[in-house]
Structure 1
Amino acid sequence: MKLNKRATGALAAAAALLAIPAVGGTAHATTYAGTLHRGWTTGVPTTVHRGQTITVELWFKQTSPYVLHVGGYAFDIWNPAGVNKWGSSAPGVTVTWLDPNTKKWVPSDLKLDKGSEQLLTPAGPEVKVPSGVWNHIYARITFARTVQLGRWTLEAVAPQSWELTTASGRGTSAILKGEGWHLQTITVLR
């Protein structure tokens, strides 16, 4: 196969670019378009009694040149006494959500690890969050009269799933750097 001068020059330029090491010295460095900030869950008291329901707010914002489309939210709840987060259970704890579209309280539509992780995928149109704006969702956590006493850990995952688009709605492969989730504790009393 015979290449002309222009094609040979383009191949040489491409080869030169491939030879340049990536930032940080690794070939798999990730470039983030912005950050997903997960704020504190507000409204969490230090103690509750069996049978009590609390209402909390899960806060988040993103900083990127894109629009964040929320796909779902999650709440991880576990009692570390004798069990662990991954594969333990949270019998007697339920989460309901104030659906941001319908403005009605709805049950979690998915429960994993016997209730330790409870998720919501909102009905209706996606929640769209522009850059730099704090957003939130309300959740109600009910501790049944039979729930295990002691210290429980709460971990809000807001949002749990999302995608980014341009302002005009075009898809993008942009990635947000996620900040870690805040762990909060609550003690269940008789």
Structure 2
Amino acid sequence: MAASEPHTTLPLPTFDKPVKLLIVVAPYYQDIADQLIAGAQATIEAVGGTHELIEVPGALEVPSAIAQAHRMANFDGYVALGCVIRGETTHYDTVCNDSSRAISLLGLQGACIGNGILTVETHDQAAVRAEASGQNKGGGAAAAALHLVALGRRWGAPKANIGFRTAPDEIQLAGDMGHDTGRGA
């Protein structure tokens, strides 16, 4: 059983400037979602961060909502929460694989996301993993997002003088020297 195996949990990062996360939850199993949310909120608040919460219909909509927020809003990171319990059809595999893949792709595009969408066989397994005072997978997802935000802030300084863009002074100088600057007379 994974819960009884030894594992390492990194200490939460610290921030010089406040951090703001968007928690996106699919509350299909409301009791599980409530515990995931409680854990995520407590973890974000433990570092002095703030958060907003939105609900979407299901796990497949979580990455779409995060993608919209990443394009149109001003959040430092995102916490994806929900629960998928295996049923009688292969729909479980589709939802698990597609939501996870979409979240990973968003992360590779620069979104700082902690994935707390549980994929389990039974409701009892979900309850154990979600419990904020237990395995606290919601808090773990928030911690993952916070660590990625911290890395982004560490490495996120704008790059200067990269590429082949000509500075405005160089364009004027070329024009003064009689060189064709590509502009009409």
TM-score of Structure 1 vs Structure 2, range by shorter chain:
under 0.3
Which is helix-richer, 1 or 2? Answer: 2
User: Structure 1 or 2: larger strand share?
Assistant: 1
Given the two structures, how large is their TM-score scaled by the length of structure 1?
0.25
When the two structures are superposed, what TM-score results if normalisation uses the length of structure 2?
A: 0.25
Q: Higher RCO, 1 or 2 (CA under 8 Å, sep at least 6)?
A: 1
